[in-house]
Structure 1
Amino acid sequence: MTSSPTTSRPATVADGPSPLDGVDTVLADLDGVVYRGRAAVPHAVESLTAASRTHRVGYITNNASRTAATVAEQLSGYGLTVGEDDVVTSPQAAVRLLADAVPAGSTVLVVGGVGLTSVLEQEGFVVTRSADDHPAAVVQGFSPDVGWADLAEASYALAADIPWIATNTDWTIPQERGTAPGNGTLVSAVHTAVGRLPVTAGKPETPIYHAAVERFGATKALFIGDRLDTDVVGANEAGLVSVLVLTGIDGAKQLLAADARSRPDFVLGDLRELSQPYPQVVEHDEGDVHVVTVRGASVAVRGGTVRVMTPGPDPVDLLRAGAAAVWGTGRAIYGLDIDPALHPDG
C-alpha cells in the first residue's frame, strides 16, 4: 500500500487528537516520506509546510554520501523552506560518538565520501585513508566510490583494536535504477575480516535521534518514517512518538507482522493525516468473537482467525483495525488465518 484516498474530514466521536497534538518538534525521514526517486511524495511538501507553522520541523537521513547542505538544497527544490541546520545526517551523529571515543584532533581512517569527511574535518579530526598512518579510530559510511582497497585499509587498521564507528548499517539503498547494496553490506565485509561489529550512529540506533532532539531543542518529538525496522524501531527506542506513513517501503503486510518494538504510535495513509484527528480503536466482544472497529471498518477475531466484518470507506482505517486485532492476539501473523483483504499488497 503506497497511498490513501483519505481526504480532510470533520472529527467524529471515534476520533482523538491529531498526531501533531502534544508534540513540539516534527522529524521526518526523507526517501519514501518526502520524496521517491526525484519526485516529491504527493501531499508531503504541503503537509510539512503546514506543520512548520506551528512546530519545529527537521529532517533525518542515514545517507552518509551527501552533506547536509546538499540535502537541504534538494528539499528546497521541492518547495520546502529548509536550511543546512534543519538536516541531521548520520555522519553528524557519528562524529558525536567519535568525540567521546578518541581525543580531539585525532587521525581517523575514513571509509566513505565527502558527506563524511567534511563533517570530521569540520570538527577538527585529521582524515586518512591509510592504516599506515596509525589512526586512532575508523569511521565507515556509504559512498558509491568505496572499493575493496578501502575496506582492506579499514580491516588493517582495526587489527589494532581501535574504535570502529559506522554511520549506518542499511542493507540497501534506493537508486534511480532500483535497489542497490547499502552501507550495511560494506560494513559486513569488514566485520567478516575483523570478527567484530562497529558502534552505529544512524537509524535504527538512537544516536541520530538524540542528536536531532538536542539540535532542535525538542521536549517531545514526533518522527515520521516509511520503514518499521529502521525508522519506527529507532524512534520507539529513543522515546519519540513514532509515525509510519504508507507512501514508501512498508505496507499492510509488514505492519500486521510488526513485533512490539516496531509498532508505530500512528499509521498514516499520507501526510495530510498528520494534522487531522486520529481515529481511535474501539473493541468489544460478541460472544466468543472479539470485534475491533476503527471508524467504519471492523475486524473480527475468533481463535486463530482474523476476518473483515466491514471494510469501511477508508482502507487505512481497515488496516488500523486489522493491526490492532492481530497485535492483540499476542501471536505472530504467520500463526494466524488472516483475511487477505487486510494485506492486499501481498
Structure 2
Amino acid sequence: MTRFLKGVPTSVARAYQLALLDLDGVVYRGRNAVPHAAEAIAEAERNGMTIEYTTNNSSRFQHVVADQLRGFGLKVEDWQVITSSVVAARMVAHQVPAGSKVLTIGAPHLREEVSRAGLVPVSNVDEGPVAVIQGWYPEMPWSELAQAAYAVERGAVYFVTNRDLSIPREQGIAPGCGSLVNAVIAATGVQPIGSAGKPESAMYDEARMLNAGEGHDLVPKERSIAIGDRLDTDIEAGNRGGYDSMVVLTGVADPMQLMLAKPELRPTMIARNLTGLNTPHAEPKRAADGTWTCGEATARLDGGRIAVNDVESLDALRAACCLAWERADAGETLDAADLPGFRIDPVAGE
C-alpha cells in the first residue's frame, strides 16, 4: 500500500519532540551556513524541539563540529553531534564485553570514542582484538587496511562506520569509507555485521538513547523526525528504522528525484529548507477523479503526463509526488518526460 506525504496543521517543531538533523547540505555547505538554517533551528528550539545533529563523517571530533555550529550563532552542546564514530563504538560495546580489545582503523576521533565506550583500541592484530571497527581518514595507508583484513580473517567481528562509496573533496569526488571497506571484503570474503552510518537506522536509534542519557526521557520514535537532503541515506535510514522524515531541497535531493523515488526512499514531508520546521505543511488529498490537491495546488493526469498548476509551488510538488507514487506503485513506468519541470527556489522562505 502506497504511503503518501503527511501534513501538519501547526508546525513540525510542535508536532515532533526530537529532530535528527543531517548536517552537510542541510545546516551547512562546507564552511558556510545554509541560508535560514541557523535561524530556523533556533526558532524550533524556542518552540520546545530538541535538536541532534547526525553525520556519517567519522573523522571530525564532536567538539569541532559543535564549534562550527556555534559559529553560526547556534547554542550547541558537544553531545548533540552524533558522528558515525560515536555510533560505531556504541554498537561494538553492545556486542563484546567491557574492556575488550578492538582493532581501530580510523581517525583519532574513532579511537577516542572506542575508549569512551569502555573498550581498548589497538592497532595490530597480534594484540588479540575481538572486534574491528573500520573508519576513514584522508591519509589512511594500505598497512591499516591489511591489519583489518588480518583481524577479520582470524575471526574478529567486523564493524564499519559507514559504507559511503564516495566523498566530495575540494578537488572532486574521492573514494569514501565504503570503497575501502570493499577492499577488506574482497580480501577476506567477509561482510561487516554492522554499519553505523546512514542508510542504516542505528544512528537515529543511538541518537535517541544519547539524548535520554543527558537526563531526558527517551523520546518515542513517533515523536522523532529524521531530516536530511539525501533520499538514499537520510530518508532511507528513517524508513528502515520506522521514523517519519522530512527532506529539504538545499542539498542533493531535487523535485525529479522525489517524484521518481522508490518506496524506501520516500519522505514523510518535503520542505524547501529548514524554515519548514516552523510552518504548517498542507496534507495532499486525492479527489474522486484522481486529481491530487495540496493547499491551492493541483496535480492531475493530462494525456499520460502529470501536470500541475504552478511549477514554482512547493504544494504542487507535494501533490505531484503523491500522484507519481500512486501511478508508479500501480505498475506504471514513469520517466522525466512524464513529469513537471519544477523551478522551486530552495532558499526562499516557506
Scaled by the length of structure 1, the TM-score of the pair is 0.88
2:249 to 246, 249, 252: 246
Q: For 2:79 and 2:158, how far apart are their aligned partners in 1?
A: 26
Q: Aligned residue for 1:218?
A: 219
2:303 maps to 1:310: no
1:189 to 183, 194, 209: 183
Q: Aligned residue for 1:113?
A: 107
| Displacement of 1:193 | 0.9
Within 5 Å, which residues of 2 pair with 1:58-137?
58-137=52-131
Q: For 1:251 and 1:294, how far apart are their aligned partners in 2?
A: 19
2:154 maps to 1:151: no
Whether the aligned pair in 1 keeps the contact of 2:66 and 2:81 (CA below 8 Å) is yes
Whether the aligned pair in 1 keeps the contact of 2:84 and 2:196 (CA below 8 Å) is yes
Structure 2, unaligned runs of 5 or more: 1-6, 212-217, 346-350
Q: Aligned residue for 1:298?
A: 298
| Displacement of 1:191 | 0.9
Q: Could you list the per-position Cα deviations for residues 26-64 of structure 1 after superposition, in whole angstroms to 9, with x for gaps in the alignment?
A: 121100000012110000000001111111111111100
Q: Could you list the per-position Cα deviations for residues 162-182 of structure 1 after superposition, in whole angstroms to 9, with x for gaps in the alignment?
A: 200111111222333333221
Q: For 2:161 and 2:188, how far apart are their aligned partners in 1?
A: 18
Q: Calculate percent identity across the aligned residue pairs.
A: 37
2:55 maps to 1:52: no
Structure 1 segments of 4+ aligned residues over 6 angstroms from their partners: none
Whether the aligned pair in 2 keeps the contact of 1:291 and 1:301 (CA below 8 Å) is yes
SS at match of 2:13: coil
* Residues 309, 138 of structure 1: alpha-carbon distance in 2 compared, 3 angstrom cutoff: closer
Whether the aligned pair in 1 keeps the contact of 2:152 and 2:190 (CA below 8 Å) is no
Scaled by the length of structure 2, the TM-score of the pair is 0.87
* Residues 127, 309 of structure 1: alpha-carbon distance in 2 compared, 3 angstrom cutoff: closer
Q: Aligned residue for 1:161?
A: 155
Whether the aligned pair in 1 keeps the contact of 2:307 and 2:340 (CA below 8 Å) is no
Structure 1 stretch displaced more, 68-77 or 211-220: 211-220
Structure 1, unaligned runs of 5 or more: 1-13
Q: For 1:333 and 1:105, how far apart are their aligned partners in 2?
A: 54
Within 5 Å, which residues of 2 pair with 1:317-336?
317-329=315-327, 330=329, 331=331, 334=334
Q: For 2:238 and 2:207, how far apart are their aligned partners in 1?
A: 11
Code of the aligned partner of 2:14: D
Q: Aligned residue for 2:199?
A: 204
1:270 to 270, 273, 286: 273
Q: For 2:308 and 2:200, how far apart are their aligned partners in 1?
A: 39
Q: How many residues align?
A: 327
| Displacement of 1:145 | 1.6
| Displacement of 1:264 | 0.6
SS at match of 1:110: strand
